[in-house]
């Protein structure tokens, strides 16, 4: 499950870029909604959302990681269904999205950006929990790796956004998305490369008996 999530995160940006019909005019991953990459963009977010919903963290109970994965599913779905602004006035969101957005006094694009920000915050937090879990297992190197990825995601996104806005760079949002998703994907690919270690607690108790 982690490998699939990681692979989708890493491959999403280059895939929609190559398959869209606008080439270098792709200023963000989200705007691919209005291109030939529409189905890839929406389908990938649905897939990630599905796997995040199915992901239960440690599986030992409803902890913070459990709830973050469910929230991430919701935000990923909203990013997919409520589109960002298109290239022209002809790019209008589906009527039902406008109806839902208007019911809460928002525009579809507001829901899109809000959900995207919350999604990235959840993904960063989940990577931090990976670090804590690895540390508790005594895997210091792995713990530092996850924590580094989490910190780089947060600081990198902030730095790219600020510098891009100051420089008035057209592709700021695209770089932010690529940076965050690539690091997140790498983290989950690494996490998926490790097999879940069995709980030896009961075995130890039996041995003592």
User: pTM to 2 decimals?
Assistant: 0.84
Give me the residue label for tokens 């705007």.
31
Alpha helices in the chain (DSSP H): 2-19, 38-54, 64-81, 95-103, 108-136, 140-167, 172-192, 201-208
- From first to last of the 209 residues of the chain, give the pLDDT tens digit: 788 889 999 999 999 988 887 766 788 999 999 989 999 999 999 999 998 898 876 655 677 888 899 999 999 999 999 999 888 778 888 899 989 999 989 999 999 999 999 999 999 998 998 898 888 888 889 899 999 999 999 999 999 999 999 998 989 999 999 999 999 999 989 887 776 554 444 444 434 44
Residue 15 has which token pair? Answer: 């895939």
The residue extents of the domains of the chain are 2-195
Count how many Cα atoms sit within 13 Å of the Cα of residue 163 in the half-sphere of its side chain.
9
What is the C-alpha end-to-end distance of the chain, expressed in Å?
A: 37
């Amino acid at each position: 499950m982690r490998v699939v999530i990681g692979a989708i995160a890493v491959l999403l940006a280059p895939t929609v870029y190559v398959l869209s019909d606008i080439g270098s005019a792709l200023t963000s991953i989200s705007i691919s909604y209005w291109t030939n990459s529409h189905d890839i963009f929406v389908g990938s977010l649905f897939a990630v959302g599905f796997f995040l919903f199915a992901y239960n963290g440690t599986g030992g109970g409803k902890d913070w990681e459990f709830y973050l994965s469910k929230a991430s599913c919701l935000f990923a779905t909203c990013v997919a269904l409520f589109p960002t602004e298109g290239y022209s006035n002809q790019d209008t969101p589906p009527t039902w999205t406008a109806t839902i957005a208007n019911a809460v006094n928002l525009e579809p694009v507001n829901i899109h950006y809000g959900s995207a920000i919350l999604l990235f915050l959840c993904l960063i937090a989940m990577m931090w929990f990976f670090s804590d879990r690895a540390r508790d297992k005594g895997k210091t190197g792995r713990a530092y790796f996850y924590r580094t990825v989490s910190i780089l995601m947060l600081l990198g996104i902030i730095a790219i956004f600020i510098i891009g806005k100051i420089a008035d760079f057209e592709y700021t949002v695209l770089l932010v998305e690529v940076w965050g998703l690539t690091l997140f994907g790498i983290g989950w690919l690494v996490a998926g490369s490790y097999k879940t270690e069995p709980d030896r607690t009961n075995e130890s108790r039996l041995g003592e008996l």
